Amino acid sequence: MKLERVFPCEQCGAKLTFSAATGELKCPYCAHVNLIERQFSQIVEKDYLKAVAEIRHFSETMPEITSLKCPTCAATFELGEHTHASSCPYCGSAVVNQVDLYRPIKPQALLPFKITKKEAGEIFQKWLKTRWFAPNKLKEYSGADSSLLGVYVPFWTYDSDTHSRYTGRRGIEYHETESYSVVVDGKSQRRQRTVTKVRWYNVSGDLDKHFDDVLVMATESLLDRLEHWDLENLVDYDASYLSGFESEVYQVPLDSGFEKSKKIMEHAIRQGVKRQIGGDRQQINSLSSEYSNTTFKHILLPIYASAFKFKAKTYQYVINGRNGELQGERPYSVVKIASAVIAALTVAGIIYYFAEYAQ
């Protein structure tokens, strides 16, 4: 079963795509703006344990969909794996294929694109020109072989209450003066210096912490480095926002995503435990955490993704479709890095020489 959706213009009937510049479905032919009825209803968190139990009784196997028939020109074209929103390569019509209907968990909300494709391209060019330790030729690179793809990427968010038990040690620093020998002009001299020592005390305790909207990417196909999302502006899921963009269904199951979120939470828990241990230094010997009242949301977030070639090597990058944040791979100049290391060692050597001379 294939459900294709297109969005015709209310005025002339032409096929529409979502405009990040206006936030509406704007007709490219008659310029008529087709309003999207925005819904900002409270997004309800879903019970995690209940959902996992229901999924066990629901087959995650999706029907094999290898091609899609365009409802505008009737052409048939291949559909990318895990893709449910695309455009016809023959007539360019935006088509949303409701493949996600076969997933046991449907998207609840999304953040619409706010950065246009043109603006994303300009962000990429500026990013190239400001890379430290990059080859000089990279700053002259035009990126002509880089083709930006706007895609809605699936994410999980998790809320959870945690109770952690720990044992460890608190270190309190103190200072002592000690004598040592140096040889100056062939003669041995005694000098003194202040050294820092630590007294350690055994500690144990409990830590309660609540986590809200721990974000985990639910696909393996993109760089997972973008962090700053305005989740407070989520809108209810509407396929109209997908028109003209790619969109993926989730590949990381709900329970696997929660295991990834635990690693994020564990890092924050360890930081909280260290603050609670106090002192000047902290050691954690054992740490165990329990998770309760866990809930989740399934959302789609807008990303521009692409790659560029430089000296026969491919580098990936992604751009946040809301605020323009860019994260990606890039080449490094070995000569620049080596020069910086040599300069740093030279400065360190000079400082050490004058410090010894002063003593």
Any residues with CB less than 8 A from the CB of 137 and at least 6 apart, and which? none
In a domain, 83, yes or no: no
Sorted by sequence, the CB contacts under 8 Å of residue 183 that are 6+ apart come out as 189
Mean per-residue pLDDT for 167-195?
Answer: 91
Is 79 inside any structural domain? no
SS3 (DSSP) at 60: coil
The kind and range of the H/E element at 252 are none
Let me know: does 291 contact 85? Beta carbons within 8 Å: no
At 173 the pLDDT is 96
pLDDT on residue 1 = 31
- pLDDT higher for 129 or 75? 129
pLDDT of 138 strictly over 50: yes
Query: pTM (2 decimals)?
Result: 0.74
CA-to-CA distance for 231 and 111, rounded, in angstroms? 7
- Asked if the structure places residue 98 within a domain, the reply is no
Asked if the structure places residue 355 within a domain, the reply is no
CB 191 within 8 A of CB 179: yes
**Mind giving me the DSSP string for 38-77?**
---PPPPPEEHHHHHHHHTTS--PPP---EEE-TTT--EE
Write down the pLDDT at residue 38: 64
- Answer with the residue of higher pLDDT: 6 or 4: 6
Crossing angle between the packed helical segments 254-277 and 48-55, to the nearest 10 degrees: 150
What are the backbone angles phi and psi of residue 327, rounded to the nearest 5°?
A: -130, 140
Estimate to the nearest angstrom the gap between the alpha carbon of 325 and the chain centroid.
Answer: 10
DSSP code at position 320: E
Q: CB burial class (10 A; 0-12, 13-18, 19+) of residue 37?
A: exposed
What is the pLDDT, as a whole number, of residue 172?
A: 97
Higher pLDDT, 198 or 35: 198
Between CA 1 and CA 62 the distance in angstroms is 11
Report how many domains make up the chain.
1
> Is 237 part of a structural domain of the chain?
yes
Instruction: Give the model's confidence band at 169: pLDDT under 50 very low, under 70 low, under 90 confident, else very high.
Output: very high
Structure tokens at 15: 């096929």
On the question of pLDDT at 135 being above 70, the answer is no
Q: Residue type for 78, please?
A: E
End-to-end CA distance of the chain: 83
Instruction: Indicate whether 166 pLDDT > 70.
Output: yes
9 within a domain of the structure (yes/no): no
For 28-52, what is each residue's pLDDT tens digit? 777 777 777 665 567 889 999 999 9
Quote the pLDDT of residue 338. Answer: 60
Q: Which of 106-115, 131-140, 180-189, 345-354 has the highest mean pLDDT?
A: 106-115
Backbone angles phi, psi at 284, to 5 degrees: -105, 115
Torsion, CA 263, CA 264, CA 266, CA 271, rounded to 10: 150
pLDDT for position 355:
63
Give the position of tokens 């087959």: 59
Q: Assign 133 a pLDDT band (cuts: 50, 70, 90).
A: low
Coil, strand or helix at 104: coil
The H-assigned helical ranges of the chain are 48-55, 117-129, 136-139, 254-277, 334-358
Average pLDDT over residues 254-274: 96
Range of the domain at 51: 38-60+103-165+204-331
- Confirm whether 254 is domain-assigned: yes
Q: Is 87 a domain residue?
A: no
Q: What is the residue-averaged pLDDT of the chain?
A: 79
Within 8 A by CB and 6+ apart from 280, the residues are 171, 172, 173, 198
Least-confidence region, from 54-63, 64-73, 302-311: 64-73
Residues whose CB is less than 8 angstroms from the CB of residue 239 and which lie 6 or more positions away in sequence, other chains included: 5, 85, 96, 98
* Type of residue numbered 349: G
pLDDT at 236 over 80: yes
